[in-house]
Amino acid sequence: MIPHPIATNDNPSKATKVVIALGGNALMEAGTPPTAEEQLKVVKKTCDNLADISCNGYEMAVVHGNGPQVGRLVLQQEIAAASQPDQLPAIPFDCCGAMTEGYIGYQIQQSLRDALRNRNRNVPVVTLVTQVIVDESDPAFEKPTKPIGRFYSAEEAEKVAKEKGWTMKEDSGRGWRRVVPSPKPKRIVELDSVKRLWDSTIVITAGGGGIPVIENMDGSLSGVAAVIDKDLAAERLAEDMETDILLILTEVENVYVNFGKPDQKALSHITVAEAIQYMEEGQFGSGSMEPKVMAAIKFARRFPGKKAIITSLAKAIDALENGAGTIITMA
């Protein structure tokens, strides 16, 4: 087996294990065309940073988001099905998630392999299309919140809701959209495969939070139309792999309080209790920073003495080795 990654001469002890959650800015840049070609350009830059982490002696797995990508794919499906329903029927939402998990993972694994080879580091990289079990009794199924697909008029929304059983909600005055639930991840189906690969391979797994599935009474699995938060899926993986660090990469170098205000303050090292207090104060956006902080809290609670880090991609190495970013620990 090819060793993945080895400890450095300066640190001959066992390599540090880290799960890395990539935010949307690691895949697409604002203001650029939403094409696969433009995405690949950004992914190549991202993988240069990831390769540096590997070369610094860290064992790692990568979890990425897929929000914009799966949204565009669903939109394509709906438009195609509306124009040619017999020849181009829409693909179910769970399959759309699997498709984006595959193509984004393909771009990352290709780019990361090249970046590692350019550094004379021969470590295999593989994408694992990953199913994640959710609880069908999760309260999220009673209150779907994640909008997907195209906009409808009120009349169209009422019709499609009756025909397809979708939950439709008005979206900020722009029209009506389908909404799906965002349940919590319970178990990663392919976890054993990740464990088998870990010592030899960089695994890209649980992309987009993984494909949500429910476990039936007979043990079989069924895909469901839902979205799992990718930061919570990364935390689930980090817990199950008992990694040393959960590294959540986003657009900003730190978590802030009073963000965007004259008295905004960057947080460097906070405890779980402090993070919870800030969250209860409403300091973190529910659709942006809050899920990241929630994931960090969960990991730090599970492993007192270990840490979760939230920072930017550019500061990843500095955060791992020099304390940059926002570090969340139990105490």
Active-site positions read 24-25, 146, 230, 292
Residue 216 CB-density burial (10 A; 0-12 exposed, 13-18 middle, 19+ buried) = exposed
Per DSSP, 139 falls in state G
β-bridge partners, 60? 18
Count of other CB atoms within 10 angstroms of residue 98: 21
Distances (CA, A) of 227 to 8, 62, 114, 155, 265: 39, 18, 31, 26, 32
Q: Which tokens is 292 given?
A: 């990241």
3 state DSSP class of 215: strand
269-271 β-sheet, strand order: 125-128, 202-205, 59-64, 17-22, 245-250, 307-312, 326-329, 269-271
Q: Which of 309, 261, 253, 304 is CA-nearest to residue 282?
A: 261
Q: Which of 186, 289, 198, 203 is CA-nearest to residue 20?
A: 203
Residue 259 CB-density burial (10 A; 0-12 exposed, 13-18 middle, 19+ buried) = middle
Q: Which tokens is 70 given?
A: 């799966």
Q: What are the two backbone dihedrals, phi and then psi, of residue 224, each rounded to the nearest 5 degrees?
A: -130, 155
Q: Which of 119, 116, 66, 58 is CA-nearest to residue 319?
A: 58
